[in-house]
Amino acid sequence: MAPPLPLIVLLMIHGVSGADLGVSYRPLHICALKDSTVIMRCTYTYPTGYQIMKVFWTNELLKHGVEPPDLSNDPEYSQRLQYLGDKQQNCTVRLSHVTLKDERMYYFRFITDKPDKKWFGRPGVTLTVTDLQVESPERVTEGDSVTLTCKSSCALTDRATFIWSRNSLKILTESNFSNKLSLNPVRREDSGRYSCAVDGHTHISPEVQLNVMYPPRNVSVLISGSGVIMEGDSVTLNCISDSNPPAEISWFKRRKFVGSGRIFSISKISSDDSGEYKCKSINEHGEKYSDTLTLNIMY
């Protein structure tokens, strides 16, 4: 037997009334950069004729009927939390200067003038806070294709424009504004300390050293003093070389090996020391000889 019509009507009215209470968040998950400002967008609904007595945000659940703490009264949040909503339907809040300690779930709570009509917006907004780290190979060889990546622990909710710096100076390349910096091919001049940041934010990643290896270049011999070399004088030859890692130096008179090290000294030089000298600079990436220097000893 079907229930009496008045009972059906009462059940329908009760269902609509219950559905009018609620909280909606957009988005439910936020990934924010350390020290940035976060906006948790929120709306809420309640039955017509009800009056809102209190609204607040919290990061704790209801426990045994005890009201959770209002974050606006918490010294950790009071100076950073600003309620942007109203007592009608907007419950948006702004949290500034977020830190890793702020990683929590946040809930909106509203209380009406009816003792049994309170609402706790669960589940709430999950906030994840990330810093930035540059991922880079520590050692690369000149001519390689190298990519540096600005990494975060989660995908930033707001669209990010990345800024790259080398030795604290901003750099502009085709891959600028992306979280990846391509150096193709990498040059010895690209060696340095790299960091990344997000445009409009103060947080900067720690610097990472990029060390570009290359074979010797610009190898030359310098002689101490000037003028005529007389028999009995002391002469010092210095081998100048640019390389990474530092090169080992060998000295040759004509084709004969005569010494090693950047400095080659001859004390009390004699006519027998006359001739052509050159140095060889060598590291794991290559080698290069200097031009020949001729010593002409007067006696």
214-298: CATH class? mainly beta
| pTM metric for this prediction | 0.75
Most distant CA atoms of the chain, gap in Å? 136
Tokens 């000294």 -> residue: 265
- Encoding tokens for residue 48? 């017509």
Looking at residue 8, its pLDDT comes to: 28
Three-state SS string across the chain, please? CCCCHHHHHHHHHHHHHHHCCEEEEECCEEEEECCCCEEEEEEEECCCCCCEEEEEEECCCCECCECCCCHHHCCCCCCCEEECCCCCCECCEEECCCCHHHCCEEEEEEEECCCCCEEECCCCEEEEEECCEEECCCEEECCCCEEEEEECCCCCCCCCCEEEEECCEECCCCCCECCEEEECCCCHHHCEEEEEEECCCCCECCCEEEEEEEEEEEEEEEECCCCCEECCCCEEEEEEEEEECCCEEEEEECCEEEEECCEEEECCCCHHHCEEEEEEEEECCEEEECCCEEECEEC
Q: State which amino acid sits at residue 49.
A: G
Looking at residue 185, its pLDDT comes to: 93
Which stretches in the chain have pLDDT values below 70?
A: 1-19, 173-176, 225-227
| Domain 24-129, CATH | 2.60.40.10
Chain segment 273-291, per-residue pLDDT in tens: 999 999 999 999 999 999 9
Please state the domain extents for the chain. 24-129, 131-206, 214-298
Looking at residue 251, its pLDDT comes to: 96
The pairing of beta strand 169-170 with beta strand 162-166: antiparallel
Chain segment 140-184, per-residue pLDDT in tens: 999 999 999 999 999 898 888 899 999 999 987 655 578 899 998
| Domain 131-206, CATH | 2.60.40.10
Distance CA(133)–CA(36), nearest Å, equals 16
Looking at residue 225, its pLDDT comes to: 67
